[in-house]
């Protein structure tokens, strides 16, 4: 399966989505994007986030206060790098997306801090 992912993804997408890497802050193509639409998993294209739940957290990564549904994501305890965090993965294909923190805005108080390279954007059509 790894060879299949390596053929379908760029090396950087593979490093992030399949190996749990992180892109540099303020570097991702979706960080400043404000268009209406859906953010989908770069691996399986399942919808993960709606642009209406996106906000500027100032963190350097695209941030959302909620996923499209509770079933879209899977949360995993992450103790790498000497920290205690909650990793966020695509519930369909298990791609690493980023992390969720409890310092976000209302109504959820959550900040889903997601790597741009783990996402594809589908613009909303009129």
Asked about 90 being catalytic, the answer comes back as no
For the chain, state the CA radius of gyration: 14
Nearest-angstrom CA–CA distance, 39 and 46: 9
- Determine which one of 41, 43, 90, 113 is catalytic: 113
Asked if 76 contacts 87 with a C-beta cutoff of 8 angstroms, the reply is yes
Asked if 91 contacts 48 with a C-beta cutoff of 8 angstroms, the reply is no
Catalytic residues: 113
């Amino acid at each position: 399966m790894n060879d299949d992912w390596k053929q379908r993804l760029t090396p950087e997408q593979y490093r992030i989505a399949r190996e749990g890497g992180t892109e540099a802050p303020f570097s991702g193509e979706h960080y400043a994007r404000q268009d209406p639409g859906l953010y989908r998993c770069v691996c399986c294209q399942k919808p993960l986030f709606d642009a209406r739940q996106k906000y500027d957290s100032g963190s350097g990564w695209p941030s959302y206060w909620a996923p499209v549904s509770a079933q879209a994501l899977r949360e995993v305890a992450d103790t790498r790098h000497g920290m205690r965090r909650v990793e966020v993965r695509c519930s369909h294909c298990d791609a690493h997306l980023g992390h969720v923190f409890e310092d976000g805005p209302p109504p959820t108080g959550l900040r889903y801090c997601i790597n741009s390279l783990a996402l594809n954007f589908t613009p909303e059509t009129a």
